[in-house]
Amino acid sequence: MFYFRVKAGLHKDGDKTYKKGDVVESNKDLTKLFRGKFVRTIKAETPLSDVATAPKLPQPSKAEDKGEKVKAKSSKSSAKKAEEEMIDVEAEIEEEAKIESEVEAEEAEAELEETATVDLSAYGKDVTDKFSIAKKNEYVVYKKGKFFNVIDPDDGEVLNTEKLLADEVKDFIKAYLKGE
């Protein structure tokens, strides 16, 4: 069983209507069903809206005995403690939600990076294994027909500006590495 505090507006559940600050009991995670409308909380006997707007307790007169004064103070402090606990729990839940959304964003970004690989199949067949200098320098070599292309796999950039024959690939890579 979960408990949620209404953050804004009204929430109708069957014939019962909850207003901002009221605590709703549910078997479902209302924060996911109604984004931005609820915050998960602990069970509270008094809704936060009632605690925040509760009238001040009458001040005991000097004639009343000390036992009544202690009882009134205890009642006030209990309400205040309950309100502080609610605020602490809400802050903790908000922090957890923030962390969860950051983790979800990081996971989505990692997934996007995984799927955003450059498609090099348009350059023909990968023949990198036949050129050790290309493998050593982390380039890929593709053959289409009788011509070869040397490609930077990180961004898919073709490094050669002219078509290369098989015996020209090794010399091209050496020259490219020297900056020629």
Q: Is the pLDDT of residue 168 over 80?
A: yes
Q: What is the pLDDT of residues 55-109, one digit of tens each?
A: 555 555 555 555 555 555 555 667 777 777 777 777 777 777 777 777 777 776 7
Range of the domain at 159: 121-178
Same structural domain, 143 and 100: no
Whole-model pTM: value is 0.36
Domain boundary among 62, 97, 115: 115
Domain boundary among 115, 143, 164: 115
Same structural domain, 50 and 135: no
Q: What total of structural domains would you count in the chain?
A: 2
What is the DSSP track for the chain? -EEEEE-SSEEEETTEEEETT-EEEESS-HHHHSTTTEEEE---SS-HHHHHHPPPPPPPPTTS-HHHHHHHHHHHHHHHHHHHHHHHHHHHHHHHHHHHHHHHHHHHHHHHHHH-----GGG-EE-GGG-HHHHHTT-EEEEETTEEEEEETTTTEE--SS-B-HHHHHHHHHHHHHT-
